[in-house]
Structure 1
């Protein structure tokens, strides 16, 4: 069986023997023996193959993007499900909230809500970054999945302009 991509022209030469010039791809004959119709057919075949290849590549990319989006959505749903099953909103009778990705305990009488501004206790990093004393933060979530020791929120932050 001959290889479709690399084969001899095979058209009769002046001596009557088959042409041995190597051709490949869409060509049906070598440059010496190809007719205008052969050249047009080969060019149409190349154009169709290239368009089909590009179309298939784009279709595959769309399918891959769609699959990735579905998997990302499923991961998000599973993370939310796991989070909600492990999230606690109160520890030792005190509200627990997330501020900037860290869990804090609130011992105040009025519960905090998402968006409330609070003063956080000084720690090593905040002292280096902002100087001594409490720093401001905003409650981003209620509850936590963290199970380690918690720092207490100092107080609600004064409203801007107070």
Structure 2
């Protein structure tokens, strides 16, 4: 915008002396002395400034969004690289898997795969939420980066229809 902070209209008054009314914004003359053309020029300037400001803001937001997306992708790549460097697939000779947010040890003969349904041991939260006994879960990831104590998976969960296809007795 044009800086008129110390500028006055300056157009001649009826007495012939310059007008002392301060200008603001895009105005080139006070409302008393402005012609229709002066008003149109001031409005065009305001509209141009406003549109330029809006487009600049949109461009900046778009650039920021693009930069954030690139940084998030880079963080994801680095997390995956760090994860793969720290991930272990066995602890004490037994397979470890993630079921949701938690890691468990599998002592069964046939290894688990992502998507396998398993029964998890009861804990304080599962007892309150689901009642007593094991809770069903689905293997979401093989291996772990967890370095703490692990609970054991109780068993494979029965497939639809109540039979476990990996169980030689029922499957």
- Distance in 2 (CA, whole Å) between partners of 1:11 and 1:75 is 62
Flag as ranges the 4+ runs of structure 1 deviating above 2 A: 3-7
- Distance in 1 (CA, whole Å) between partners of 2:57 and 2:33 is 34
Q: Is the 8 A contact 2:4 2:23 kept in 1?
A: no
- Larger deviation, residues 126-135 vs 106-115: 126-135
Q: Is the 8 A contact 1:6 1:24 kept in 2?
A: no
Aligned residues: 161
- Distance in 1 (CA, whole Å) between partners of 2:131 and 2:40 is 77
Q: Secondary structure at the match of 1:12?
A: coil
2:152 paired residue number: 152
- Distance in 2 (CA, whole Å) between partners of 1:6 and 1:91 is 77
Q: Is the 8 A contact 1:6 1:25 kept in 2?
A: no
- Distance in 2 (CA, whole Å) between partners of 1:72 and 1:5 is 45
CA shift for structure 1 position 4? 2.5
When the two chains are superposed, the root-mean-square deviation of aligned CA atoms in Å is 1.3
Q: Is the 8 A contact 2:86 2:145 kept in 1?
A: yes
CA shift for structure 1 position 158? 0.3
TM-score (norm 1): 0.95
1:59-138 to structure 2, matched below 5 A, reads 59-138=59-138
TM-score (norm 2): 0.90
CA shift for structure 1 position 7? 2.3
Higher-strand-fraction structure: 1
Q: Secondary structure at the match of 1:63?
A: helix
- Distance in 1 (CA, whole Å) between partners of 2:51 and 2:141 is 51
